[in-house]
Structure 1
Amino acid sequence: MTDPFLSDFLAPGVDADEVPELAALASARPLLDAFITLFRGTEAEVLMRLLVLREIGRQADAPRWSPEALRARFTYLEPVKLETVLKRLRDNALLTIGEDGHYALSDIGRNAVAAIAMLLRFGEDEDAELGFLTAQLAGLQAVGSLTPEALGHLLSKLNDLTWHFEEAIASGSEFRILDARRRLSANGRWLERGTDILNALLADPEVDFDIARIAQRIGLAQSRLARVDAAFQRALNKIESQRVTLGASGISSSDVAAWLRSLDANAVAGLVLDAFAAVPELPLLAGGHELLDRAEALLEGSSVTSDADAGLPPPDFAGTEIALQAEDLRLLEHFTHRLEALPAPQPLHHVVAGGGFAPASYRLSLLALLADGAGSGAQAGPEEGPVGSFMRLPVEVEFGDTLTAVGEDEIAAMTLGEVRPRTRPLEPVSAPSAPTADLALTAAAAAPRPPVV
């Protein structure tokens, strides 16, 4: 190691040969020089070198390329730039050129291309680092060259994942927990593959002690990750118990938060415009002279007394006659009048739809009660009032077992059914049973909106 620039990074009086950690890197200088050649320069230069090198390496049946074949293969590149890239790769031993003038990948160049291709193999939905490390361990185990250093990289990655998942749970954020849970699920196959590798290592009685020690620690880290999913579920259950539904709209606080997260910063700023003030808008009750007088008195050590009456105000009796808020049954009464004037059988979604998702859900629940009362032969509900009038309607409701697409009025799909005038009267029997209709009303994706009454 005679590189004069190394002395700039070492402490005074320390020679590079005295640092054993540099020995492994120094022995791999040819491979390191290959990667330096590939990744030195601008981003465009790096991309062009990787592009040319990978395309040359893909020709497995005939790995040797003539200059004419290369120019025909890379017709989309400027000829002078292509020659510059080929010369750079050839001068730095990534490409070799034979006596016949044909190009081919060198051993170092092929290893570099293979390493990059393996890293690019993993999808965006997976953890590329965990997949690469696991695949690397599987290959090293297959050729019998597994090292404690390679196992240590996997152990470090597993501990980093554990820390990330614990941070997500501690944050109490539903969205961070769901993202972390999806990440854990996407990496499930790599965790299973790592478990297979560990089982094979620990079953070998002649395995090296350092390898067995790190393998046991990896097993403990994987056990912690296996318990994380249950911790995710407990945290989500706790969040679910604190979820708030906005009136009768069917929209929860999580839906509002998800909608807000989908907006950009300018849209969110527009929502809070004029909603609050940056500073309290209160009149100034004391001038500069009054504040200065109080400050001087405090600095002199004298106490400032106040002549204001600090006693409690006299007791007062609150009114006991509070008018109870009347229940709003206008939607029920309007729906009753509609069903009374029903001329002929109509599909269920035509009768229920109107006014948005919340009123449609309310009408569907009323029809479920009406269908259950009619099916048991009872006229359920009170004898007087809007509810009793609705339950005595001469209407029959029939629900199917399938869904029908609606695609309008905030409704995506709905249970298939029919509402028709009753053909014969029903004889009343005992009290009605609980609703048993298995109904479904799916809301179409929409931004949160106030409930419609």
Structure 2
Amino acid sequence: MTEARLDEILAPGVAPDEVPELAPLLQARPLLAAFSTLFHGSEAEVLMRLLVLREIGRETDAPRWGPDQLRQRFAFLDPVKLETVLRRLRGNGLLEIGDDNRYALSDLGRNAVAAIGMLLGFAAEDDLELGFLTTQLAGQTAMGNVTPESLGHLLGKLNDLAWHFEDAIASGSEFRISDARRRLSANTRWIEKGTEVLRQLLADPDVSFELARVAQRIGLAQSRLARVDAAFQRALNKIEAQRVTLGGSGISSSDVAGWLRRQDVRHLAGLAAGVLAPAPELTLLAGGHELLDRAELTLSDEARQIEADTALPPFEAAPRRAEPEPEDLRLLQHFSQRLARLAEPGHAPETLAALVSGGGFPAASYRLSLLALLADAGAEGESNAPADGPIGDFMRLPLDVHFDAATVAVGSDEIATMSAGLVGAHGSLPAPQAVPVLDATALPPDEA
């Protein structure tokens, strides 16, 4: 079987030099030829080449091998096959042979062995791609040769993980969600390592715009993955709420499903033998009540007419809403009239007890709160008073209200004591008595 040439693979009239995507691959032909040498042929041939190349590169103290040493080291291989492998590796630049007829890895061969060894080192990981890509990015960052392509590979892997996790949550399967959660936990350390690498990369003030743009997108993808664990927990909580326990056995539906998943297909087929019918039983499809409902619809003309009637119901007038009852402000208006007389010329101020009392404790408490409102309005001016209405008229009364810290005894009208104070026209109340400030130097020695 002849190998196809590159110009035969491309479309008619297209030259390899006209495809920009091929340029970096064509420049790396020696490296690609080395990997083609390793992975060309059957699986057994590939394993044999990798085995020989890795074992030759494993010897670090004496990296050069003589023919007898190779035959002794690979005594478990067929000598003819071993010679064929050595000739193929040497012919494609993966092995070198010196003047002393000793074999050693070439630079290209050592790079290939190192790359394959790194991949094999991550083979035991749940997600070897993320660990490999993060490690590769960390090395490139340390050497200062990070490329947008390497960042793009990491971004693609993170987005693929996010899609996988979201798909597991959308499935509603407890087992898929649990598997996805374990996968997230296995990749947490690589996500954290990637975050450290990105911080180091973005801390460089000379980083290019393209690298910074892809790095920021990677940061967003990592934040998206960090929030997935909470979504896993919410989904598992919903499944837990819907879990069914089989009687008093303590065995739940999840336990049964897990047990079934662990069984062999033949065992499951044996369990289903004699249990599943080739056709469903009619009693399982419809019971007596369902059959009666369908029979009534079929046999009754009235039921069929109701079923077929699609006319809209007659319209009805919307119910009228009763107007809200007006607020009862009669007590406020009456109290405003009483206070208005205090603003007349020549009228003396009155005490709070005389104005507030009357009608029991609720009415007196209401009047006292109105006087407190009037005192606040006098202190802040009339700008806060409503424009219209009884409340606005009350707050604009030309009165001063003064509350004392002392209390006076009333003893009537459900009031025992209340605050002392006066209410009068503007400027008619005496000025509050100032509290003298004593000088400590003026006191006798025993009082100082």
Q: TM-score, normalised by structure 1?
A: 0.61
1:124 offset after TM fit, Å? 2.7
**SS of aligned partner of 2:156:** helix
Task: Please list every run of 5 or more consecutive structure 1 residues that lacks an aligned counterpart in the other structure.
Answer: 283-305, 314-453
**Where do residues 302-381 of structure 1 align in structure 2 (5 Å cutoff)?**
309-310=299-300
Q: How does 1:91-240 map to 2 (within 5 A)?
A: 91-240=91-240
Compare 216-225 and 203-212 and name the one that shifted more: 203-212
Equivalent residue of 1:54, what SS?
A: helix
- Mapped to 1, the partners of 2:219 and 2:233 lie a distance apart of 23
Q: What SS does the corresponding residue of 1:104 show, helix, strand or coil? A: strand
| 1:349 alignment counterpart | none
| Structure 2: distance between partners of 1:144 and 1:175 | 43
Distance in 2, matches of 1:8 and 1:278, equals 56
Q: Does 1:43 align with 2:11?
A: no
Match of 2:14 in 1: 14
- Following superposition, the deviation at residue 72 of structure 1 comes to 1.1
Q: For 1:310, give the aligned amino acid.
A: S
Corresponding position of 1:244? 244
Report the AA paired with residue 172 of structure 2: G
The DSSP-based 3-state class of the residue aligned with 1:115 is helix
* Amino acid in the other structure paired with 2:144: G
- Give 1:130 deviation, angstroms: 0.5
**Residue 280 of structure 1, CA deviation:** 4.0
Displacement of 1:80 in angstroms is 1.2
Q: Counterpart of 2:185 in 1: which secondary structure? A: helix
Say whether 1:30 aligns with 2:30.
yes
Q: List per-residue Cα deviations over 1:205-257 (Å, max 9, x = no partner).
A: 11011000000000000000000000000000000000111111111111000
Output the CA distance in 2 between the equivalents of 1:7 and 1:102.
40
Distance (whole Å) between structure 1 residues aligned to residue 4 and residue 172 of structure 2: 53
Q: Deviations over 1:255-279 (max 9, x none)?
A: 0000000012222222222323233
Q: One-letter code of the match for 1:198?
A: L
Aligned identity (percent) is: 70
* Residue 260 of structure 2 corresponds to residue 270 of structure 1: no
| Residue identity in the other structure for 1:106 | S
Deviation at 1:114? 0.3
AA aligned opposite 2:137: L
Q: Whole-Å Cα distance in 2 between the matches of residues 222 and 248 of structure 1?
A: 44
DSSP 3-state at the match of 1:187: helix
How far apart, in 2, do the equivalents of 1:183 and 1:100 lie? 52
Shift of 1:131: 0.5
Distance 1:309 1:192 in 2: 71
Q: How far apart are residue 143 of structure 1 and its match? A: 0.9
Aligned residue runs from structure 1 range 357-436, under 5 A: none
The equivalent of 2:73 in structure 1 is 73
Classify the secondary structure of the residue corresponding to 2:121. Answer: coil
Please name the residue that 2:420 is paired with: none
Letter in structure 2 aligned against 1:156: G
**Matched residues in 1 for 2:280 and 2:227: separation?**
49
Q: Deviations over 1:377-425 (max 9, x none)?
A: xxxxxxxxxxxxxxxxxxxxxxxxxxxxxxxxxxxxxxxxxxxxxxxxx
| Residue type at the aligned position of 2:269 | A
Query: Which digits, 9 at most, give the CA deviation of each residue in 1:306-343, with x for residues without a partner?
Result: 9x843799xxxxxxxxxxxxxxxxxxxxxxxxxxxxxx
Cα offset, 1:56, TM superposition:
0.2
C-alpha distance 185-48 of structure 1, shift in aligned 2 (>3 A): same
Q: Describe the SS at the equivalent of 1:101.
A: coil
Greater shift in the superposed pair: 133-142 or 266-275: 266-275
What is the TM-score when the length of structure 2 is the normalising length?
0.62
Offset of residue 182 of structure 1: 0.3
Q: Which runs of 5+ in 2 are unaligned?
A: 283-295, 304-448
Higher relative contact order (CA 8 A, sep 6+): 1
Aligned to 2:60: 60
CA distance in 2, matches of 1:225, 1:17: 41
Distance of 1:80 and 1:123 partners within structure 2: 32
Superposed, 1:259-298 pairs within 5 Å as 259-280=259-280
Aligned-partner residue type, residue 159 of structure 1 = N
Provide the secondary structure at the position in 1 that maps to 2:227. Answer: helix
Which of structures 1 and 2 has the bigger CA Rg?
A: 2
Which letter maps to 2:233? Q
Bigger proportion of residues as helix: 2
Task: Report how far residue 106 of structure 1 moved.
Answer: 0.6
For 1:20, the aligned partner's letter is: P
Task: Determine the C-alpha separation between the residues in 1 that align with 2:29 and 2:299.
Answer: 87
How far the C-alpha of 1:50 sits from its partner, in A, is 0.1
The residue type paired with residue 239 of structure 1 is I
Structure 1 runs, 4 residues or longer, greater than 6 Å off: none
CA distance in 2, matches of 1:271, 1:33: 55
Q: What are the superposed Cα offsets for residues 33-57 of structure 1, whole Å, 9 maximum, x if unpaired? A: 0000000011000000000000000
| Matched AA of 1:93 | G
The residue aligned with 1:405 is none
| Residue identity in the other structure for 2:300 | A
Counterpart of 2:10 in structure 1: which amino acid? L
Gap change, CA 1:12 and 1:182, over 3 Å in 2: same
AA aligned to 2:42 is T
SS in 2 for 1:120: helix
Question: Matches of 1:76 and 1:309 in 2, distance apart?
Answer: 87
In 1, Cα distance between equivalents of 2:60 and 2:151: 32
- Alpha carbons of 1:113 and 1:221: their partners in 2 closer, same or farther (altered >3 Å)? same
